[in-house]
Amino acid sequence: MARKWRSGGSTGSFSFNKLKKYKYNSSGTLVEFTGTAGDDDITVSGSKSSLRRMADIERNVSILAAKLLTNDGGSGDSDDSAFGRIETKKIRFKNDIRMDDPVDIRDDVDMNTNKITDLGTPTASADAANKSYVDTKVAALADSAPAALDTLNELAAALGDDASFSTTVTNSIATKLALAGGTMSGNIAMGGNDITGGGDATFTNFNGTATYAKYADLAERYAADATYEEGTVMAFGGEAEVTSAVGYGSTKIAGVVSTKPAFAMNDAAGNSETHPFIALQGRVPCKVVGTVSKGDILVASDISGTATVWTESTVDPRMTAYVGIAIEDKTTDGEGYVEVKVGK
């Protein structure tokens, strides 16, 4: 029996057999259906009235729309025949929607201030991230940093907002003198401060006034005929320039061996084994024999390299016999050391 049928906005005539079933194919054409209907198939029985057929179609469309599952097989937007249904109008859902497979969204989704919930942990670079995942990554980035440095803005401020901080530091370091030493290209202004903890300082020229020194004698290197210890009284003579002084009141006194002079002259002449420093002026330890009182004049003794008290109280020793003046007491008779002011 031929009946009028409206589909896709057009009205046509279609002959129904009440013993057969009918469905829309992928092109939207109503055709005869044989076999068993699948879950997604919409079928119409030919034995029902037109109104009942319409009711069946509407009910089945509602069921299919609720599934919201479309597999386009990689088809383009222009290939409508690959889709079971094409909607050109907005669809409003008033209840939850369940999607069991991926959904290919080709346009924006307006959430209208609502949320997408129950997102899984992202694994691919294009995956959406949930709040828990983002919070974890941000916390790992801060990694228990102090409160004053746990934001990028605070870190930037700490670096002086210098986008080239690494270059700035590298250039600044290049202007510093290495701990291992180097050559200064300009003056060092100490601003009234001291240079401390240093060893020997070597200058081509020294221009200035020395106000104080750790040690207290002016010494000069002389070639010696042997190695002598600190405090040895030295005289001119022997196989080199100086030798150990011997003989009471010897008139060839050069000075006293100093190992820590405040001011050293002729340093390049040699080392302390071959060219000891001989204190010419100032305060040094001196080897003595016998008792000594502060203020006693000391001269060479009969013990090599040792001074003793000048006993000729009414006569000063000759300048060349003068070792120095004792500035501390020694109460024992044997050999020992006292502090002596050498020179006149």
Average pLDDT over the chain, rounded to whole? Answer: 81
Domain range summary for the chain, segments of one domain joined by +? 1-120, 217-342
Give the per-residue pLDDT at 110: 82
Give the per-residue pLDDT at 70: 46
State whether residue 108 is helix, strand or coil: coil
**Alpha-carbon gap, residue 110 to 90, rounded angstroms:** 12
Q: The whole model's pTM is what?
A: 0.45
Least confident of 13-17, 95-99, 239-243: 13-17
Least confident of 89-93, 154-158, 278-282, 321-325: 89-93
Q: Provide the strand spans (E) within the chain.
A: 2-7, 10-15, 21-24, 30-33, 43-45, 217-221, 233-236, 242-244, 253-258, 263-265, 277-289, 297-300, 307-309, 324-326, 335-342
Do residues 26 and 86 make contact, with C-beta atoms less than 8 angstroms apart?
no
Least confident of 44-58, 101-115, 215-229, 267-281: 44-58
Tokens 């210890």 identify what position? 229
State the number of CA atoms in the 13 A half-sphere of 329 facing the CB: 3
pLDDT digits (tens, 9 = 90+) for 28-37: 677 788 878 7
State the number of CA atoms in the 13 A half-sphere of 241 facing the CB: 14
> Which of the listed CATH numbers 3.30.70.1150, 2.60.120.620, 3.10.20.30, 2.40.300.10 matches domain 217-342?
2.40.300.10
Give the pLDDT mean for 292-318. Answer: 91
Reported confidence tier of residue 71, pLDDT bands at 50, 70, 90: very low
Give the per-residue pLDDT at 46: 65
State whether residue 172 is helix, strand or coil: helix
Give the pLDDT mean for 124-136. Answer: 87
pLDDT > 70? residue 59: no
